[in-house]
Amino acid sequence: MNDAASHPRERAFRIPALLVGALLAAACAGPPAGGGPSPSVDRPSGAGDPRVGLDAGWMDAESAIRNMEHVASRPRPEGFYDEADLGNILLANSDMAYRGNLLFMGSFHGFQIWDITNPASPTLRTTVVCPGGQGDLSIHGDLLFMSVEMPNARVDCGTEGSFEPGADPDRFRGVRIFDISDIGTPRQVGGVQTCRGSHTHSLVPDPRDASHVYIYVAGTSDVRPDAELEGCTALEPEEDTTSALFRIEVIEVPLAAPQNARIVNMPRIFAVGEDVAGLWPGGAEREGAQTTARTDQCHDITAFPAFNLAAGACSGNGLLLDISDPLNPVRVEEVFDPNFAYWHSATFNNDASKVIYTDEWGGGTAARCLRSDRHNWGANAIFELRGRELRHRSYYKLPAPQTEAENCVAHNGSLVPVPGRDIMVQAWYQGGISVFDFTDASRPFEIAFFDRGPMADELLLGGFWSAYWYNGRIYASEMGRGLDVFRLTPSEHLSANEIEAASLVQWDVFNPQTQPRVAWPAHPAVAGAYLDQLRRAGAVSASRVDEIASELDRAVSLGDAAARREALTRLASTVEGLRSGASGIDARRLDSLTGTLRDLASGR
């Protein structure tokens, strides 16, 4: 979420009433027209879509679902909602992180810890009241990091914080650090104050030194006065070279002494030559284009350590960063899109050959999925990454139009780790959840969805903040309602083998802004997933796929290890023989299937 509207440096954090009012009113002004890298301006008709016209309600709204099963729902716990003011953002759920069988749910009011050992029956373990929003979380070992940016946040996590302007010695805005070794009693053990607070943050390991981690801080709030935090200035860089604008912060956290965490770098990643404000200056590129925010901040930075890359969604531009030296991230590419109002978040595909950037037009508080809205505004922009060059290929936006009573725009999601395909699950606030395929970057399409009717008959802030795949299930943070859990089901777009293969990927920790590289185990379901894809694409005839699948079943059932190895090796050679004449994604799937069969044969 961003509260920048069309003037990202003007903030509404004063007192709660003004804050909520400003957020609900935030919208990037501009006429419903414009151009961009793609000529597509199609608007969804919604004809026949069950998401259109759902009845409103808080915990009893009508819902629509396709190719998913809704396996569990849990309301926000006591103290984290106000039934008299259900849209109060100061109590809203925000982002999530995961460790083992625990889900950590961030909130503008603190955080909750849920036991998801049984995904169909999540159990609340702990709540921690610590106001300050947004409350985005990440985890490393027994440390939990929390983003804080609102003026009501206090150093001691107290609830007496004030939105009044002026310096406050008890105010905290930056990154909090908690010890979560005892899940029942998390303890705040450190924190680092920053000039613009921490809207979001990204945990980045140091490949050369495991004794510490780095935290990239994306601060988007107003700059604090020097009287509150020494060294902070909101002056433009040409007036003061130490300006807190046009930079991110890098925090170093010694894992054995988190209380000694400190800022170790403030890289000027928006600089062009000597001009630290060298990227998009703000405004519309041309008449009729979107009004795009000025690039003086990042909203989200998604690190992909396996490739030494990070993708920055930075208000007016999308950035690609080289993080091979994580202390000193370096911008190596930037892109601009005249259809984007506010570059919000980014997700790589698994081999870092594509990047999806999202546009949070309207700041997440406005109805931006109307039938009359352009399909390339408030959408995802899908880019191919060739070397260090980003090339725009298409847009994807929720295909079901929503109502004036539903805040809706592209928001947070993650990959669904199906081998051989690029699939993402994504939250769209009150637009619900959409699962879509972008294997062909030019032709994304929807696979599955879930949606509820609006919170009320008039716009009341709510909806899904984030939706992430974790160890076989989709977990979704609902701002105004609570926690939802889903399971994908087989359909014409997704087979049982593909779902099982994705579920084989098991993580010990998952921080969505630190993207892990997926490696699939050698398993018959993985081979079956590739076969199903080859059949669906028509790359191998259905009868040939059936023969290979039957032989695979027979081979893996053999009790004698030598006979099993021989049968699987022979089958791998058969599949390899199909490679001749294949190209593109079909050739890659055949290669992956051959490799999986050989790994099965060798017992890996």
Q: What is the pLDDT of residues 243-294, one digit of tens each?
A: 999 999 999 999 999 999 999 999 999 999 999 999 999 999 999 999 999 9
Q: Is the model's pLDDT at 37 over the cut of 90?
A: no
What is the average pLDDT across 418-446? 98
What is the average pLDDT across 28-56? 61
Instruction: Give the rounded distance of the alpha carbon of 423 from its chain centre.
Output: 13
The answer to which of 32-36, 125-129, 352-356 has the lowest mean pLDDT is 32-36
Q: What is the pLDDT of residues 491-502, one digit of tens each?
A: 999 999 999 999
Q: So what's the pLDDT on residue 46? A: 74
What is the average pLDDT across 458-463? 96
Q: Is the model's pLDDT at 36 over the cut of 60?
A: no
Cβ pair 525, 504 in contact under 8 A: yes
Q: So what's the pLDDT on residue 435? A: 98
Strand order in the sheet with 317-322: 300-304, 309-314, 317-322, 330-335
Cβ pair 188, 177 in contact under 8 A: yes
What is the average pLDDT across 469-488? 98
Q: So what's the pLDDT on residue 42? A: 58
Q: So what's the pLDDT on residue 2? A: 76
What is the average pLDDT across 367-382? 97
Q: How many C-beta neighbours within 10 Å does residue 16 have?
A: 15
Strands 68-75 and 482-488: antiparallel
Q: How confident is the model at residue 43 (pLDDT cuts 50, 70, 90)?
A: low
Q: What is the CATH number of domain 16-26+64-510?
A: 2.130.10.10
Q: What percent of the chain has pLDDT over 90?
A: 91
Q: Coil, strand, or helix at residue 272? A: strand
Nearest Cα neighbor of 343 from 314, 363, 302 is 314
Q: How confident is the model at residue 1 (pLDDT cuts 50, 70, 90)?
A: confident
Cβ pair 218, 199 in contact under 8 A: yes
Q: Is the model's pLDDT at 530 over the cut of 70?
A: yes
Q: Is the model's pLDDT at 29 over the cut of 60?
A: no
Cβ pair 116, 100 in contact under 8 A: no
Euclidean distance between CA atoms 335 and 316, whole angstroms: 9
Nearest Cα neighbor of 599 from 516, 498, 519, 508 is 519
Cβ pair 131, 161 in contact under 8 A: yes
Q: How confident is the model at residue 595 (pLDDT cuts 50, 70, 90)?
A: very high
Strand order in the sheet with 134-140: 134-140, 143-148, 174-179, 187-193
- Cα–Cα distances (Å) from 58 to 277, 457, 579, in that order, read 44, 10, 54
What is the average pLDDT across 17-23? 41
Euclidean distance between CA atoms 368 and 573, whole angstroms: 52
Q: How confident is the model at residue 35 (pLDDT cuts 50, 70, 90)?
A: very low
Backbone angles phi, psi at 159, to 5 degrees: -100, 10
Euclidean distance between CA atoms 543 and 549, whole angstroms: 10
Can you read off the two tokens belonging to residue 86?
């259900």
**Is the bond preceding 290 in cis, omega lying within 30 degrees of 0?**
no
Cβ pair 92, 110 in contact under 8 A: no
Backbone angles phi, psi at 52, to 5 degrees: -80, 125
Backbone angles phi, psi at 595, to 5 degrees: -65, -40
Euclidean distance between CA atoms 495 and 492, whole angstroms: 7
Q: So what's the pLDDT on residue 604? A: 72
> What is the per-residue DSSP string for 143-191?
EEEEEE--TT-BTT--S-----SS--TTB--EEEEEE-SSTTS-EEEEE
Q: So what's the pLDDT on residue 13? A: 29
- Cα–Cα distances (Å) from 577 to 422, 484, 588, in that order, read 26, 46, 14
Q: What is the pLDDT of residues 171-206, one digit of tens each?
A: 999 999 999 999 999 999 999 999 999 999 999 999
The full set of domain ranges for the chain reads 16-26+64-510, 524-602
Q: What is the pLDDT of residues 535-565, one digit of tens each?
A: 999 999 999 999 999 999 999 999 999 999 9
Across the chain, mean pLDDT equals: 93
